[in-house]
Structure 1
Amino acid sequence: MLVVAAVLGVLAFALAWPVPVALSRAAWPARSPAVALVLWQAIAVSGGLSMIGCLLIYGAAPAGSLIGAWNALVPVLFTGPIPPEFDVLELAAIVLAAGLALHLALNLALTAVRAERERRRQHQLIALLGDPMPGQPSTRVLAHPTPLAYCVPGIRTATVLTDGLVDALSPAELAAVIAHERAHLDQLHHLVLLAFRAWHSALPWFPIANRSERSVILLAEMLADDRARRVAGDDALRGAMLVVGADAGPAGLGDDGVIADADMLEARLARLDGGFGGGPARGLVLAASVALVTIPLLGYALVLTDATPV
């Protein structure tokens, strides 16, 4: 079991630092944002499973299997005594693994509840303050001079524009903006972003959590840009991006995590100008994503019931 724990520990370290850092600096995700987004999700899932599994399997090693450790420890959890084969480090590893798993799960649930509460509030506000846009279903226009566009997901979806934006854009540019926001809704980007926002919230001291959320936000924007390009063309999208992003500030954090900024806008504009080289083979990246998730699951399966050499 210690061999399995060591393998998962090495994988957890790699996915916590060098692999995400390298991916966040790579140029190819801009050419294949959908594939890169799958890889980021695989890194997050595999990293979490590996961190928890490394601690849990190390702690369960004296019993020879996870089930064996469960059977040995749970019955004496409140009554004692703890079996003598488990020392302090092994018990601490089990407690840390359970605490980490609970911490991540609770943060995901809390982030989801907060997001749903905010979505309901936004739907109420735009229903009260916005006017339907003729010819554009589920689209509301707010009376505000700042050029702004965003979407509100949920069972009821809404695309929200300001009249300052409508006045500033040409018909083609406006079509690009609407297509961009609807792509976010159709492709359920809010669910992907929710998971990474929860990860960042759970591990705010972890620099890679910020880097991962930022990269995923940028990839989601690029995917939505692709829809807008097909609908309205590159020139219309570029013009709309320059208007909407005119007030973009420096990189930073908002109340709900990473916020889009001027650097992201610059990367999206560079992509429109063809400023990135070709990407790797899609099949290779997808295979690597599957392998990343499979390795920790296989590790759990190997030590679930059968004793392995320590």
Structure 2
Amino acid sequence: MFWASYLLAALAVILAWPVPVMLSRARWPARAPKTALILWQAIALAGGLSMIGAMLTWGLEPLGDNLLAGLRGLAALLASYQPAPGLDLIHVFALSAALLLGVHLVFTLLLTYYRIAKQRHRHRTLLNLLSSPAKDSPKTLVINHPAPVAYCLPGGSGSVTVLSEGLMELLTPAELQSVLQHERAHLNQRHDLLLWAFAAWRAALPWLPTSQLAQRAVNELIEMLADDAALETTDRPTLIRAVALVAGGERPAGSAAGAPARELLSPEEAQALTSANRLRRLLTPMAPLGRAAQSLVLAGAALLLAVPTVLLLAPGLAG
């Protein structure tokens, strides 16, 4: 596993810096947001697997020629209480670092879920006190507030879309419907799970460029997917007007309704709303990425996951 550890370390470095930087600057993700999301997930998984795998294979190198053999050797070593030839302090340190990093990632993932669930429960309790169901949809809650607010609150079968009275006065029925379709797309496509995973990754490794770039890119891409869902039932000019009015918070002079300037409540949506890529995509439609190109990207994502797996499990890579 000598060479495997070096190859995994090199892959981890590549996925930690140059690859996410290039992908975050690319223009094609706006033409295929779903495909780009899959690639970002592959980069995150392969990067984490490579980081942990590099330390693990280095530490287990004296005990076997692949990960499974090394783990069996480690189990036998712990059971026999006998010293292993070649297993020095450096290898023990590498094994400890791999264990600590793995536990840290899993713990941060669970802690982030707990915090999000707690915040949602508190938020839902407040909504029960301060909102009322919309006349046409019990899954839509209306809060008495003049600011234009629209967001979704995931919760499985209890998921709801929240609108403010200010938003309902600000938008026309067609514009309001486009906003509803956008928010419901977040719920139907379970974008909250993606946000949870990438938020946990950034919390666990805030110093890693990949985690920061990935979280911003994923926030932007899920807004694009929700825009696409809204465009299935409404025309593009209506959606653009709705986005612009909610962002600006007021109608042009002469309109019947007005509200203070205010952005969407959700920080992720507020960030994505001002994204140049999202606005450019709405104002200047681009042709979808071709099937061949998308297939190539998906193949690359699969390869990213396959390479560290093979390096970890394939025998005969010990130098």
Q: TM-score, normalised by structure 1?
A: 0.90
The aligned residue for residue 239 of structure 2 is: 237
- Could you tell me whether the CA contact under 8 Å between 2:131 and 2:142 is conserved in 1? yes
CA–CA distance in structure 2, aligned partners of residues 140 and 122 of structure 1: 13
Name whichever of 24-33 and 289-298 sits farther off.
289-298
Q: CA deviation at 1:208?
A: 2.6
Q: 1:232 to 1:278 in 2, by over 3 A?
A: closer
Q: Does 1:173 align with 2:175?
A: yes
Look up the match of 2:282.
272
Partner residue in 2 for 1:11: 11
Taking the aligned partners of 1:116 and 1:262, their CA distance within structure 2 comes to: 23
> What do the CA deviations read for 1:151-209 (whole angstroms, capped 9, x no partner)?
01112110000101110001111001000000000000000111000000001122331
Letter in 2 for 1:172: A
Q: Which residue, out of 266, 271, 290, partners 1:261?
A: 271
1:285 corresponds to which of 292, 297, 306: 297
Match of 1:202 among 183, 194, 204: 204
Q: What residue in structure 2 maps to residue 309 of structure 1?
A: 318
- Distance (whole Å) between structure 1 residues aligned to residue 29 and residue 296 of structure 2: 13
Task: Quote the offset at 1:265 in angstroms.
Answer: 4.0
Distance in 2, matches of 1:290 and 1:46, equals 10
- How many residues align? The count is 302
Unaligned runs of 5+ in 1: none
Deviation at 1:41, TM superposition (A): 0.5
The residue that corresponds to 2:312 in the other structure is 300
Shift of 1:266: 3.4
Secondary structure at the residue paired with 1:208? helix
Q: Which AA in structure 1 matches 2:145?
A: H
Partner of 1:106: 107
Helix, strand or coil at the partner of 2:232: helix
| Aligned residue in 1 for 2:84 | 83
Give the % identical residues. 42
Q: Distance in 1 between matches of 2:193 and 2:27?
A: 25
Give the drift of 1:105: 0.4
Aligned to 1:42: 42
CA-to-partner distance for each residue in 1:74-133, whole Å, 9 max, x for gaps?
466599564241122211111111111110000001111111122222222212211111
- 2:219 & 2:269 partners in 1: Cα distance? 8
The 8 Å contact of residues 149 and 263 in structure 2, kept in 1 or not, is answered as no
Deviates more, 1:30-39 or 1:132-141: 132-141
Is the 1:217–1:260 Cα contact (8 Å) retained in structure 2?
Answer: no
2:53 matched to which residue of 1? 53
Answer yes or no: is the 8 Å Cα contact 1:174–1:240 preserved in 2. Answer: yes
In the alignment, the residues of structure 2 paired with residue 137 and residue 234 of structure 1 have an alpha-carbon distance, to the nearest angstrom, of 27
| Pair 1:128 & 2:129 matched | yes
Partner AA of 2:174 in structure 1? A
Q: TM-score, normalised by structure 2?
A: 0.87
**Alignment RMSD (CA, Å):** 2.4
SS in 2 for 1:137: coil
Do the aligned partners of residues 300 and 288 (structure 1) sit closer, same or farther apart at CA in structure 2, a change above 3 Å counting? Answer: same
C-alpha distance after superposition, 1:216-269 (max 9, x if no partner): 0000000001111121211111111112223459xxxx9x99673277443222
Whole-Å separation in 2 of the counterparts to 1:72 and 1:309: 15
Give the deviation of 1:307 after TM superposition. 5.1
Distance 1:227 1:277, change over 3 A: closer
Displacement after TM superposition at 1:30 (Å): 0.6
Amino acid across the alignment from 1:63: L
Does the C-alpha gap of structure 1 residues 265 and 169 become closer, same or farther in structure 2, counting only changes over 3 Å? farther
Alpha carbons 2:199, 2:215 under 8 Å: kept = yes
SS at match of 2:195: helix
Q: 1:245, 1:265 within 8 Å by CA — same for their partners in 2?
A: no
Deviation at 1:25, TM superposition (A): 0.6
Matched, 1:225 2:237: no
Moved more, 261-270 or 217-226: 261-270
SS at structure 2 position matched to 1:231? coil
Residue 225 and residue 56 in structure 1: after superposition, are their counterparts in 2 closer, same or farther (change >3 A)?
Answer: same
Contact 1:28 1:277 in 2 (8 A): no
Contact 1:5 1:58 in 2 (8 A): yes
Tell me if 1:62 matches 2:62: yes
